[in-house]
Amino acid sequence: MALLHVAAVQAGYLLAYLLAVLLLLFFCYCLYVRHVHAKYDHLPGPPRESFLLGHSRLIARESRSGRVVHDRFLEWAEKYGPVYRLNFLHYVIVPVYDQEATKEILMSPKYAKDKFVYKRLFNMYGTRFLGNGLVTAIDHDLWYRQRRIMDPAFSSSYLRGLMSTFNERADRLMDKLAELAESQSPAMMRELVNKVTLDVITKVAFGVDLDLFHTSNSPFPRAIERCLEGMVHFLRDPVFEYLPQNRKEVRETRKAVQLLRETGSKWITERKEAVQNGEDVPMDILTQILKSAEENKSHEDDWEIMLDNFLTFFIAGQETTANQLAFAIMELGRLPEIMAKLREEVDEVIGTKPEVSYEDLGNLTYLSQVLKETLRLYPTAPGTTRWAADDIVIDGIKIPGGFQVVVSVWKKMVMLILQLYLEVKHLVFSQFSSYVSSRLERFFKDPLKFDPERFSLDAPKPYFCYYPFALGPRSCLGQNFSQMEAKVVLAKLVQRFDYTLLPGQSFDILD
């Protein structure tokens, strides 16, 4: 009994010690956050809602309410100028809308992608998601090796060879639209262009014909949508996954990621076997993904990295172009004069030809302008972020660089030596929103007006304020691919159909 009493007293002391240490650590952390605030509070910015959570609850609220979070960033950019700050714990986010700083940061490999956003996408809700794939790789060497191997699959000579696939997949959409027109049924264009771009990417990237216009139960469109929605909530709302009302969404998102990774595993295995059996395989993205793993033999994680890239192309290569097409179709439906001008060009360049050729693409200049203007108002991948390691001056304001401290504390406690390594990473990162930049009056006059003339050949080129494909070494690898595909689809649509938008629908952007 006495022994038990002693043990209980000792356990009580231990708990008290532990609590005291935890309180001390929390106190030190709060001091640290205070120090970070003091260091960056000379930057203008909206008032913090909370000492520790900074602006994150406001952003999460905005996201949950269904409003476009970027509109809030736009308001702040208009109010606080080309550089301001936002806080979350010990992180400082610095949105940048200064052209020279945009040029310096995005064009230089010195500024790596930041860990706060991109490391977070390594796993989503505990399941490996984009891992160390091309979009999310932070380590320069790992990224560079992959990019160098992937480049040939996006060279102009390779892309030229994809014209027949672009035409053929676009024709499937035209056949479907003809069917709908015949029966006078409405066409849900966002859904339909999604099918085209998914059909295209799976065919040209992985050699698989999903034929979504004739397959009604493919799980892939929904899985991709689920991943993208999940990604938005996961990035914006740190507590999203812990709220009971979100359990179903979290579970479905995990399942969607698993489905895509399992599909990747299956298709990669089949391709590997085909290569081993000496079969002829296309020099497509899947072949390049296998090559990058071969060159990377020392990397124990190569299978997982192949899957990371499989997911990266499956997702990055599809929805962005589909949404660009959907927005372009919407604007053309709303603006008959622009549609008439485009039709004139398409009639002149394509006429009644059944195929759009590679040479035709260069002559469809007004169509290029329409597509560029679409991405100005509706950038379908709205931004990027970079880690600012060193001090930088933006618009005359000095912004101290991020630094990393490693604090080592060791303490003797109840017969145990507890060594506690506490790594406190203080990250400052610059955020570039193409959505905000393109909607600022100081860069684009009358910014909400859809006007393709902004991109006519004799108009001044936007100077580091228009970057729907990002800029510099980490810019979009699929830019030319996507714009060739978009041009073929839109040219064929305009060549073959007149359309009007159904009345009563909303033109609001879904974030």
Interface with ligand HEM (CB under 6 A): 134-135, 147, 312-313, 316-317, 320-321, 324, 375, 380-381, 384, 468-470, 474, 476-478, 481-482
Q: Which residue is nearest to ligand HEM (CB)?
A: 478
DSSP code, position 351: T
Looking at residue 5, its amino acid is: H
Check residue 66 and give left, alpha or beta (phi > 0: left; psi -120 to 50: alpha).
Answer: left
For ligand HEM, give the closer residue by CB, 198 or 342: 198
Of 342, 376, 385, 390, which Cα lies nearest the Cα of 491? 342
Query: Is 465 marked as binding a ligand?
Result: no
Looking at residue 491, its amino acid is: A
Altogether, the residues listed in the chain come to a count of: 511
Q: State the sign of the Cα–Cα–Cα–Cα dihedral 65, 69, 73, 74.
A: negative
- Rounded Cα distance between 329 and 338, Å, is 11
- Rounded Cα distance between 472 and 134, Å, is 14
H helices of 81-139, in order, are 99-107, 115-118
Q: Are 287 and 152 in contact (CB under 8 A)?
A: no
- Rounded Cα distance between 288 and 158, Å, is 13
Residue 387, strand partner residues: 429
- Rounded Cα distance between 228 and 173, Å, is 24
Block residue for tokens 């938008």: 501
Of 31, 39, 36, 117, which Cα lies nearest the Cα of 382? 117
Task: Give the shortest CB-361-to-ligand HEM separation in angstroms.
Answer: 15
For ligand HEM, give the closer residue by CB, 33 or 159: 159
CB atoms within 10 A of CB 1: 5
Q: Are 432 and 384 in contact (CB under 8 A)?
A: yes
Of 244, 329, 379, 357, which Cα lies nearest the Cα of 500? 329
- Rounded Cα distance between 488 and 492, Å, is 6
Residues making up the annotated binding site for heme are: 476
